[in-house]
Amino acid sequence: MGSYLLRRLLIAIPSLLGISVVLFAVLALAPGDPFEELATNPAVPPEVRTALRTKFGLDDPIAVRYVRWLVAMLGGDWGFSFVSRIDVGALIMQRLPTTLFVIGSSQLLAILIALPVGIYAATRPYSLFDQIANAFAFVGFSLPTFFTGLLFILVFSIWLDWLPFVYRSDISATGWQWYLEHARQAIMPIAVLALFQAASLTRYVRSAMLDVIRLDYVTTARAKGLGERVVILKHVVRNALIPVVTLVALQMPAIFGGAIITEQIFRIPGIGSLLISSILANDTPVVMAVTFVFACLVVIFNLIADILYGWLDPRITFA
Amino acid sequence: MKSGVGEALLEIRGLKTHFQTDDGMVQAVDGVDLTIARGETVGVVGESGCGKTVTAMSILKLVPMPPGRIVAGQILWQGRDLVPLPPEAMNDIRSKQIAIVFQEPMTSLNPVYTVGEQIAEVIRRHEGLGRRAALNKTTEMLRLVQIPNPQRRVHDYPHQFSGGMRQRVMIAMALSCDPKLLIADEPTTALDVTIQAQILELLHDMKSRFGMAVMLITHAMGVVAETAQRVVVMYAGKVIEEAPVAQLFGQPRHPYTRGLIRSIPRIDRAAANRSRLETIGGVVPSLLRPPPGCRFAARCPHVMAKCRDASPPLLEVGRGHKVACVLEQPEAVQ
Amino acid sequence: MGRSRPVSPAFEAWRRFRRHPLALVSAAVLLMMIAAIVLGPTLWPVAINDIDFSARLKGPSWAHPFGTDDLGQDLLARMLYGGRISLAVGLAAMAVAILVGTLIGAVAGMSRSWLGSALMWLTDLFLSLPQLPLLLLVIYLFRDFLKGLFGPEGGVFILIVAVIGGLRWMPVARLVRAQFLSLREKEFVEAARALGASKSRQVVRHILPNALGPVIVAGTIDVAAAIIAESTLSFLGLGFPPDIPTWGRILYDAKDYLDIAPHWAMFPGAAIFLAVLTINFIGDGLRDALDPRKVM
């Protein structure tokens, strides 16, 4: 297992480097001057601009610029926001936990829905339950998250007035009230993301289960006189989980996309909405840093998936 | 109906197992009678697709039941019909009374659990032993099937064993609860020739130790000649001949059986005569729409008009020797 | 006595597709939508930017079957126009993804040298890229430049199609490579080789037709994904220019009026949903029609 982990780590590093090259290439190829914002700012005289250009090595050869940029990124030196003058690193750290909280909870909820439904549907393929679950799954991942979000707001905030639709991280309440308020405002964005995820996850769980159910060792398990329930839950699920885990991690990039949208709709102060607002404000350092953070998160989650896979499949652990 | 060795343990009467497919109903097993007595080794032979495996799976009701169905017949286990038995009762019988070893050892074990866990699982299910006792018994079984270093190997995963070893594990697992009947479905087909001999030797040892009845399914006539006491020959979903082993090889009555025996490659004969390998011309009929008469009619060198009228019944023509052929009917002893 | 009529693979596939009622219904609905979008403007000749303050934010009526927006513009006309853009973007992005993916996958699949592994490493790399953030980043950086070159609509169209297609070719490449790897060792390819077929002839005439099944399925799903991606961008205010009423853009404008004019958001949202849903069902039916061995 140790050597497997080491190998996966060693693969993750070129991955991250590769992504950083792509990001940097995009930035370098982009026309326009990242500092043109400052050009229109009367408070910044031209000499300061030139000095900044030299400081950031904008006139150096591209390879040097890349290395310098990469070192800065990895070291956490992400510059300062053009708009708010706050250190970008601090800005992101402030908002990252909220995003992680929403993504994490929605994933958990999605798994809690998808696992039982997918498993049960696989044990009774083509039954009524299976067909209904399948139809729901299709509807679930065909509904764009922004539409679901708007629908939820329409129904639960506007018509029923049960849930607030603007997220506030500072709630003036204590104890149970505080938790309740937090829960009330977090339910909708989490539900929107969870529904979308649960839809595709259910189909994958079902598919993975069906792939395993027809294998020889399941027949062996039945031939041992174990009840069907034990056969499914102990022998089939344990094996079907392996590809599902890999899939959850591989879908991470898409989930971040969904998080960006829900943060916009529900005005959640996470890094997704930060990305959008900084794009609209032409705040390049923030845009680059947030994109880089997203890329790192993807690599981290892929690594986590690899670790989980290695742990779940003894053929890898005990090669 | 006595077969010689002991009382009848398993009596299959008129078993019909059919499969619903997109193209129609496949009549995989179409009226099979089979008896196995206590402690007896019965060889079931026939070419691929003749229904031997489906018969075996039907006994333990392991046939996937959405496309498959036992449409007729009785499977009497010690007098009790298994066909209408509910799943809970069936589970008590599986591995405890009747156990099965499959053809593919490479895929028959769950890759995510240790070999010890999978064997102990059966023991705990049927014998009610605790974890430690079950583990001890498991280790003992592994030692019996001659897996070296069983105390250590019991904690290994299936992928850490070779094909032959895995088959030994399967045999250990099947025999761990001391069943009265062991069904071995082509246990050596997927293994190397040298390992085949070892596994057959192992089965022989286990039989002398445990004394269980064995239903050995194979398409290799040579294996049957060495191990079985009685042989049942199947063709296209039906039993066409049944006899004690010496009689079957000495005086085969059914044209198909004769063809099978003649087609066994014989090094001594071939070297002397320099003759070609004997084959049976033609192909097995489709089991979707089987011909109304004898299913071997299209390939039989002695076919007559009467053969195509109706499928000939399995009739006794000698001591313990039964044949389903029109040619043999005048000699039939009712 | 039974005569067996030789059936072509295409007919077999159609037979299998026919067995999926949802896929068939979806195909019908999608065809109707496409017909409406293509023929609509001739059958419903209302201008998309007819400002009429007296009719602002009105719900569905005979004059305006889908209602009006805050400038009194007819929503049905705007949606029919926007549908064309969504469709065009969807199909174009799918074409880019399929072309790039098939090319890379085929080269990687046929190659027996380091090239294959290198291409696959590149594919894996692109798969790790966070799609939406990267999409946003590229649009942010290149939008003005391309607008200058091709005009506001053209520039954005090219940009969106290129980026969406450029981030969706990877699954296609993997599929194609896997197919090529298994097909190039098959006997019929060896036979062609033995008969002297050049490598490219082997690929085009023998391997490619057999590899197409999963590619068609992937292409179908890609259209749906592209439509969602484009509407997402427009919804975030970063897609086409504001005067072009793509469905996502209409939603962007409508989202602040949810309480007083919900119809404004519901119609484009439902349209996107319906288009994507039908495409997904069709894709599922196609998957079973073209590759029945896979248990779905």
Q: Which residue has the tokens 């030196």?
A: A77
Q: Does B109 touch chain A (CB under 8 A)?
A: yes
pLDDT at A56: 58
Q: Nearest by CB to A219, which of B62, B91, B95?
A: B62
Inter-chain Cβ pairs, chain A and chain B, closer than 8 A: 72
Instruction: Please give the radius of gyration of chain B, using alpha carbons only, rounded to the nearest integer.
Output: 21
- Neighbours of A, requiring at least 3 CB pairs below 8 Å, are B, C
d(CA B263, CA C180): 41
Which residue's structure tokens are 């005048």?
B330
Q: Do A222 and B62 touch (CB under 8 A)?
A: yes
Position B290 confidence tier, pLDDT thresholds 50, 70, 90: confident
Amino acid identity of A106? S
Nearest to B122 among A216, A224, A238 (CB): A224
Q: Output the average pLDDT for chain B.
A: 88
Tens place of pLDDT per residue across chain C (296 aa)? 444 556 677 777 787 788 888 888 989 999 998 988 888 878 877 777 778 777 777 778 777 788 888 888 888 888 888 888 888 999 999 999 999 999 998 888 888 888 888 888 888 888 878 888 888 888 887 877 777 777 777 888 888 898 888 888 998 898 888 888 887 777 777 777 777 777 777 667 777 777 788 888 888 888 998 999 899 888 888 888 888 888 999 988 888 888 888 888 888 999 999 999 999 999 888 887 876 554 33
Enumerate the residues of chain B whose CB falls inside 8 A of the CB of residue A244: none
What is the complex's ipTM, to 2 decimals? 0.87
User: In the beta sheet, which residues pair with residue B68?
Assistant: B19
A27 to chain C: closest CA residue: C141
Q: How far apart are the first and last CA of chain C?
A: 36
Cα gap B19→B286, rounded to integer Å: 13
Residues B168-210 have pLDDT tens digits of 999 999 999 999 999 999 998 888 888 888 999 999 999 999 9
DSSP codes joined into one string, C10-79: HHHHHHHHHT-HHHHHHHHHHHHHHHHHHHHHHHS---TT---GGGTT--S-SSSTT-B-TT--BHHHHH
B54-99 confidence digits (pLDDT tens): 999 999 999 988 888 999 999 999 989 999 999 999 999 999 999 9
Calculate mean pLDDT across residues A184-208: 90
* C168 within 8 A of C93, measured Cβ to Cβ: yes
Which 5-64 residues of chain C touch chain A by CB within 8 A?
22
Cβ contact, residue pair A257, C132, below 8 Å:
yes
User: Around Cβ C51, how many Cβ atoms within 10 Å?
Assistant: 11
Query: Which candidate from C132, C235, C273 shows the least CB-CB separation from A142?
Result: C273
C225 to C86, C91, C99, C231, C277: CA distances (angstroms): 11, 11, 16, 10, 11
Q: Give the single-character DSSP code of B216.
A: E
| Residue pointed to by tokens 């390049």 | A284
Using the Cβ of A123 and the Cβ atoms of chain B, whether some distance falls under 8 Å is answered with: no
In this complex, do B111 and A313 lie within 8 Å of one another by their Cβ atoms? yes
Enumerate the residues of chain B whose CB falls inside 8 A of the CB of residue A222.
62, 94
The residue of B92, B103, B112 whose CB has the most chain A CBs within 10 angstroms, and thus the best one to mutate to test that interface, is B112
The whole-angstrom distance between B138's CA and the closest CA on chain A is 15
Closest CB from B95, B112, B157 relative to A223: B95
Between B149 and A81, the higher pLDDT residue: B149
CA atoms of B297 and B305, how far apart (whole Å): 9
Distance from CA of C138 to the nearest CA of A (A): 7
Give the nearest partner residue to C140 out of A144, A150, A287, using CB atoms. Answer: A287
Taking CB atoms and an 8 Å cutoff, what residues of chain A touch C276?
Answer: 142-144
Model pLDDT, residue A34: 57
Interatomic CA distance for residues A238 and A240, integer angstroms: 6
Following DSSP, what letter does each residue of A217-280 receive, concatenated? HHHHHHHTT--HHHIIIIIIHHHHHHHHHHHHHHTHHHHHHHHHHHHHHHT--SHHHHHHHHHH
Q: What pLDDT, on the 0 to 100 scale, is given for residue A307?
A: 85
Whole-number pLDDT of residue C294: 46
**Rounded distance, CA A260 to CA A297, Å?**
14
For chain A, the first-to-last Cα distance in angstroms comes to 8
Q: Residue A260 pLDDT more than 60?
A: yes
Q: How much is the pLDDT for A58? A: 62
CA torsion, points B41, B47, B52, B53, in degrees to nearest 10? 110
Provide the β-strand partners of residue B241.
Answer: B233, B323
In contact, A262 and A145? CB cutoff 8 Å: yes
Judged by CB atoms within 8 Å, which residues 15-54 of A form the interface with C?
15, 18-19, 22-23, 26-27, 29-32
Inter-residue long-range contacts of C77-80, CB under 8 Å, 24+ positions, other chains counted: C77/C41, C77/C44, C77/C46, C77/C47, C77/C48, C78/C48, C78/C245, C78/C250, C79/C245, C79/C247, C79/C250, C79/C267, C79/C268, C79/C271, C80/C36, C80/C37, C80/C40, C80/C41, C80/C44
pLDDT mean over A202-212: 91
What residue type is assigned to position C295 of the chain?
V
Question: Of all residues in chain B, what percent carry a pLDDT higher than 90?
Answer: 55
Q: How far is CA B19 from the centre of its chain?
A: 20
- Rg value, chain A, Cα: 24
Helix (H, G, I), strand (E, B) or coil at B232: strand
Q: Does A279 sit within 8 Å of C232, measured CB to CB?
A: no
Interchain CB contact of A217 with B (< 8 Å):
yes
Residues C26, B19: Cα–Cα separation, whole Å: 33
Shortest CA distance to A113 belongs to which of A94, A136, A90?
A: A136
Residue of C121, C129, C233, C287 to mutate, testing the A interface (most A Cβ within 10 Å of its Cβ): C129
| Structure confidence at residue A53 (pLDDT) | 64
Q: Are A219 and A179 in contact (CB under 8 A)?
A: no
Is the CB of A124 inside 8 Å of chain B's CB atoms? no
Reply yes or no on whether the pLDDT at B273 is more than 70: no
Residue B138 has pLDDT above 90, yes or no: yes
Does residue A79 come out as left (phi exceeding 0), alpha (psi in the -120 to 50 range) or beta? left
- Name chain B contacts of A314, Cβ cutoff 8 Å: 111-112, 157, 159
Please indicate whether residue A15 or residue B40 has the higher confidence score (pLDDT). B40
The burial class, CB within 10 Å (0-12 / 13-18 / 19+), for B105 is: buried
Task: With beta carbons under 8 A apart, name residues in chain B contacting A211.
Answer: none
Interface test with B, best of A126, A212, A217, A315 (most B CBs within 10 A): A217
What is the Cα B95 distance to its own chain's centre?
16
Q: Which pLDDT belongs to residue A35?
A: 57
Residue C184 CB partners (closer than 8 Å, separation 6+): C109, C110, C202, C207
d(CA C1, CA C4): 10
Kindly report the nearest CA distance between residue C187 and chain A, in angstroms. Answer: 28
Whether residue B232 is predicted with pLDDT greater than 90 in this model: the reply is: yes
Residues across chain C: 296
Closest CA to B100 of A215, A228, A214, A224: A224
Q: Are B174 and B142 in contact (CB under 8 A)?
A: no
Main-chain phi, psi angles of C63, to 5 degrees? -70, -40
Contact state of C258 with A150 under an 8 Å Cβ cutoff: yes
Instruction: State phi, psi for B292 to the nearest 5 degrees.
Output: -65, -35
Closest CB from A216, A221, A314 relative to B107:
A216
Three-state DSSP at C280 gives helix
Mutate to test the interface with B, among A127, A215, A224, A226 (most CBs of B within 10 A): A224
